[in-house]
Amino acid sequence: MSQSFPDVDRPALDLDGLSDAVCAPLGPYRRLELVESTGSTNADLAAKAGADKVGWSDLSILAAEEQTAGKGRLDREWTAPARSSVIVSVLLRPHNRAGMPLPTQSYAWCSLVAALALAEALGDHAKLRAVVKWPNDVLVNGRKISGILAQMVTYPDGTPPAVVVGTGLNVTLGKDELPVPTATSVALEKGATTDRTVLLMSYLRIFAQRYRQFCDVNGKADAEWPDGTSLMSRLEQVMVTLGQQVRAQLPGGSEIVGQAVGLDSYGALRVRAGDGTEHVVAAGDVVHLRPDEGS
């Protein structure tokens, strides 16, 4: 029997409700556009940001009901049936409280800010215990429920680069609709709500708050926020990779096996090999190993 949801159980996003809740004057976002279908919200938003810097300012949103040619990390394909997922990209032009652009080295944290925000949103409204797998996956019960991809938008005139952060959250996908057997969805995990409008609204609100806190300390992940926490300390609470034996498969084909001991100041994973040597992994696939695989 098919595990997919009938169309009646996949209502459209409430665009008016979203706009009222998250966009100015009551919310922090400057613009929200929703399209019925697109190849990739990240690609579309990057193109819009490149062509119109004024019209697409910091904290502008592009969402879609369906994505047909999305890309995940390492150019892996990511698609979703219509109205089954939260598909959203947010444009960022990171700057501090004084309006000064953040150093581009800090941009690497943007996808982790998004992962943290989504994990918190899933806990708040779906009542699911979500964790972050470095660098930008969100898991529930060991299965991937969301992937996040950030890309930079550069300008030839010297304008500071922008960042597009795309998030895909599996909401009502059934078992036969999952992209891979190791994935899951809010519905399959019996989340307290599968209302995509509620989940997207919560994610966007929390993301804007965490992003602003991060920018207000000049993009320093270990700098203290007003509540006494920091981006680093909050990530350490939800990042399941830390402390694990991992195999880091690097872009050039080599690999490192060791214990994930922390993040460096740019969000890269620090891995301590068996001989005590510490390596910094900035990009690549990370596999969590069982204890008998770590040698």
Measured CA angle at 182 (ends 210, 193), to 5 deg: 50
How many other CB atoms are there within 10 angstroms of residue 22's CB atom? 22
**Overall pTM surpassing 0.75 (yes/no):** yes
pLDDT of residue 266: 93
Q: What is the pLDDT of residues 176-203, one digit of tens each?
A: 999 888 999 999 999 999 999 999 999 9
What SS3 class is residue 242?
coil
Rounded mean pLDDT, 245-252: 88
pLDDT of residue 2: 43
**Distant-in-sequence, close-in-space partners of 193: CB < 8 Å, separation ≥ 6:** 125, 126, 186, 199
pLDDT digits (tens, 9 = 90+) for 57-87: 999 999 999 998 755 554 556 667 899 999 9
Q: Domains in the chain, please, with CATH?
A: 7-236 (3.30.930.10), 242-293 (2.30.30.100)
Whether the predicted pLDDT of 272 surpasses 90: yes
Strand order in the sheet with 285-288: 278-281, 269-273, 255-263, 245-249, 285-288
Q: Is the dihedral of CA 95, 98, 103, 109 positive or negative?
A: negative
pLDDT in tens, 89-125: 999 999 999 999 999 999 999 999 999 999 999 999 9
